[in-house]
């Protein structure tokens, strides 16, 4: 049923896109020749000649949308990915139109009209898709347009999959049960039951209209994977594999093809790419310079307050571990009384710590003591966005206690990060912090950095867990 619904929905979606593309093109023509740009318009082509181009533009854009996966289900697809697909398809479409007009010597068509069409179409397509997305999400929450799923294998992967499905009813997935040879039938996890053995799959399928089978075997059962995949594929039902080694393999593994042999790299770090690293470093330098200029009055006032309220240096330098496990001196405004380095480097501050000065408490709570790290960024020791650096003592401690902790040192540490804007600062879970850091490292993009900086401005400065 869901397959038929999906086919019909895709056809309807394409029909909607036909109207959106045509409306965008017509609106672009009106703006150029009847709207705000009318005074500068030289209409050497008739309106009929302009509209005739839709015969080629509409099917061409539908093919581009198909090529950029804009008709795949949006159940679990990120909205940013959809927007990126729309922008790419329209940009490529505009280039193709320009190239075709040039080759056919049709130079009298308004380039402003075509560029306006591209921009308008991106906006309208995004708007229409978001409307459809929210309508479908509400329908799925109400129990309509749902996918029936059966899990094969009880494991950590199965439990994590169930957790995510239950946390996101808008995806419209219903788990009918789990098949497993090692866990007794009737065992329940959050309302999802083990309903039989794996061999029962061919008996269960005819009586249950399933849309998907998810193989969620435990690591110890992987020797049966080939057998179970063959069994699932006999059913003719769409089958997917959810690995039980997500603590080893990242969510977006980097794969290579060596003469037909697939090779999975354990960790893909986008910033290991020279071009990406150059872009990020350029952003860091420009952002740090602007931030220093903007915050200089605040830093000057803090310097005076620190000097007036307690004896000692203005800037506190502390050894931290950065890129490639190299140590560096991180700068902060001094917020505590002077103490021996051997005493401070093995302990965090605690609530109502007597060593924290009056102005220091304010600076820590508002994160203003971190401002001197803008100079660490200029020196290349830190970045605007990245995992927060830690002291060598704690790095040695956590590397033994927390899996994948040392992966964070594959990128420059940051003034702010994904963990910090999600509330994991100060006296909070180190494991949760590392999960956020690893997600950032594996999913880095310029847009992601901008998002984190934007969130930092609005909710990242106040630190409730800073003592």
* Mean pLDDT of the chain, nearest integer: 83
Report helix, strand or coil for 301.
Answer: helix
CB atoms within 10 A of CB 268: 18
Pairwise pLDDT comparison (77 vs 428), residue with the higher score: 428
> Which residues, including other chains, have CB under 8 Å from residue 331's CB and lie 6 or more apart?
315, 316, 317, 372, 373, 375, 376
pLDDT at residue 57 greater than cutoff 90: yes
In this structure, the number of other CB atoms found within 10 A of the CB of residue 241 comes to: 17
Confidence of residue 428 (pLDDT cuts 50, 70, 90): confident
* H/E segment holding residue 264: strand 261-265
Q: 3-state class of 263 per DSSP?
A: strand
Pairing of the two strands 188-189 and 173-179 = unpaired
Separation CA 319–CA 396 (nearest Å): 14
pLDDT for position 2: 46
Q: Is the pLDDT of residue 264 over 60?
A: yes
β-bridge partners, 214: 151, 240
CB neighbour list of residue 358: distance below 8 Å, 6 or more residues apart: 309
Q: Tell me the angle at which helices 2-33 and 54-67 cross, rounded to the nearest 10 degrees.
A: 130
Q: Which band of pLDDT confidence, cut at 50, 70 and 90, is reported for residue 342?
A: low
Instruction: Dump pLDDT digits (tens) for 195-210.
Output: 989 888 878 776 667 8
Position 464 scores a pLDDT of 57
Structure confidence at residue 253 as a pLDDT band (50, 70, 90) = low
pLDDT surpasses 60 at 463: no
pLDDT surpassing 90 at residue 380: yes
Q: Please give the pLDDT value at position 1.
A: 45
418 has pLDDT over 90? yes
Determine the average pLDDT of the residues in 103-116: 82
Q: Quick one: pLDDT band at residue 240, thresholds 50, 70, 90?
A: confident
**C-alpha to C-alpha distance for 398 and 390, rounded to whole angstroms:** 10
Q: What is the pLDDT of residue 133?
A: 81
Please check the confidence at residue 76 and state whether its pLDDT lies above 70: no
- When pLDDT is averaged across residues 282-295 and rounded to a whole number, the result is 94
Residue 5, SS3 per DSSP: helix
Enumerate residues 6+ apart whose C-beta is below 8 A from 373.
Answer: 330, 331, 332, 382, 415
The full set of domains in the chain, from first to last, is 2-141 (no CATH), 147-246 (3.40.50.720), 272-460 (no CATH)
d(CA 329, CA 36): 57
Residues 6+ apart with CB under 8 A from 379: none
Residue 170: the pLDDT is: 74
User: What is the pLDDT at residue 432?
Assistant: 87
- Per-residue confidence (pLDDT) for residue 69, from 0 to 100: 81
Gap between the Cα atoms of 139 and 146, Å rounded: 9
Residues 6+ apart with CB under 8 A from 428: 465
130 in helix, strand or coil? helix
pTM score of the predicted model: 0.58
Question: What are the two backbone dihedrals, phi and then psi, of residue 428, each rounded to the nearest 5 degrees?
Answer: -130, 180
Which pLDDT does position 383 carry in this prediction? 96
Q: How is 399-422 classified by DSSP, letter by letter?
A: HHHSTTGGGGGGS--EEE-HHHHT
Q: Choose the weakest-confidence range: 211-220, 346-355, 412-421, 433-442.
A: 346-355
**pLDDT winner (highest mean) among 20-29, 219-228, 362-371:** 20-29
**Residue 289: pLDDT over 80:** yes
pLDDT band at 427 (very low <50, low <70, confident <90, very high): low
Q: Is 29 a residue whose pLDDT tops 50? A: yes
Residue 457 has a pLDDT of 82
User: Higher pLDDT residue, 432 or 354?
Assistant: 432
How large is the average pLDDT for residues 13-36? 87
Using N-to-C axis directions, what is the helix angle for 358-366 and 274-309, rounded to 10°?
A: 160
Per-residue pLDDT for 246 more than 70?
no
């Amino acid at each position: 049923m869901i397959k038929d619904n999906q086919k019909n929905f895709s056809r309807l979606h394409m029909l909607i896109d036909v109207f959106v593309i045509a409306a965008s093109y017509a609106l672009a023509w009106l703006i150029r020749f009847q709207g705000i740009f009318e005074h500068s318009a030289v209409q050497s082509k008739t309106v009929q000649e302009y509209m005739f181009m839709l015969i080629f533009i509409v099917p061409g854009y539908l093919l581009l949308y198909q090529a950029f996966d804009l008709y795949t289900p949006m159940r679990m697809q990120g909205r940013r990915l959809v927007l990126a697909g729309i922008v790419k398809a329209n940009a490529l479409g505009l280039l193709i139109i320009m190239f075709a007009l040039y080759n056919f010597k049709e130079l009298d068509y308004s380039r402003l009209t075509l560029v306006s069409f591209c921009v308008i179409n991106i906006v309208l397509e995004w708007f229409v898709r978001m409307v459809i997305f929210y309508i479908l999400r509400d329908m799925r929450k109400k129990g309509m347009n749902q996918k029936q799923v059966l899990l094969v294998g009880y494991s950590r992967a199965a439990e994590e999959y169930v957790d995510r499905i239950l946390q996101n009813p808008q995806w419209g997935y219903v788990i009918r049960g789990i098949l497993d040879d090692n866990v007794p039938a009737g065992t329940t996890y959050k309302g999802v039951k083990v309903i039989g053995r794996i061999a029962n799959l061919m008996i269960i399928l005819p009586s249950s209209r399933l849309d998907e089978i998810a193989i969620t075997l435990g690591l110890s059962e992987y020797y049966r994977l080939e057998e179970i995949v063959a069994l699932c594929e006999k059913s003719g039902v769409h089958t997917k594999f959810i690995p039980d080694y997500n603590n080893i393999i990242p969510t977006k593994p980097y794969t290579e093809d060596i003469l037909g042999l697939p090779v999975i790299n354990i960790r893909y770090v986008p910033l290991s790419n020279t071009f990406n690293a150059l872009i990020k470093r350029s952003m860091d330098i420009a952002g740090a310079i602007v931030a220093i200029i903007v915050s200089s009055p605040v830093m000057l006032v803090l310097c005076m307050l620190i000097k007036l309220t307690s004896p000692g240096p203005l800037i506190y330098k502390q050894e931290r571990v950065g890129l490639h496990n190299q140590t560096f001196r991180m700068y902060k405004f001094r917020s505590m009384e002077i103490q021996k380095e051997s005493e401070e480097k093995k302990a965090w501050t605690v609530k109502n710590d007597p060593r924290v000065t009056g102005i220091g408490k304010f600076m820590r709570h508002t994160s203003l003591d971190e401002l001197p790290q803008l100079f660490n960024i200029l020196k290349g020791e830190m970045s605007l966005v990245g995992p927060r650096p830690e002291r060598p003592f704690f790095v040695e401690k956590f590397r033994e206690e927390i899996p994948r902790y040392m992966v964070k040192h594959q990128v420059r540490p940051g003034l702010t990060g994904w963990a910090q804007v999600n509330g994991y600062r100060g006296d909070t879970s180190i494991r949760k912090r590392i999960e956020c850091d690893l997600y950032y490292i594996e999913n880095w993009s310029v847009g992601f950095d901008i998002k984190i900086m934007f969130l930092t401005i609005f909710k990242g400065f106040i630190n409730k867990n800073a003592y």
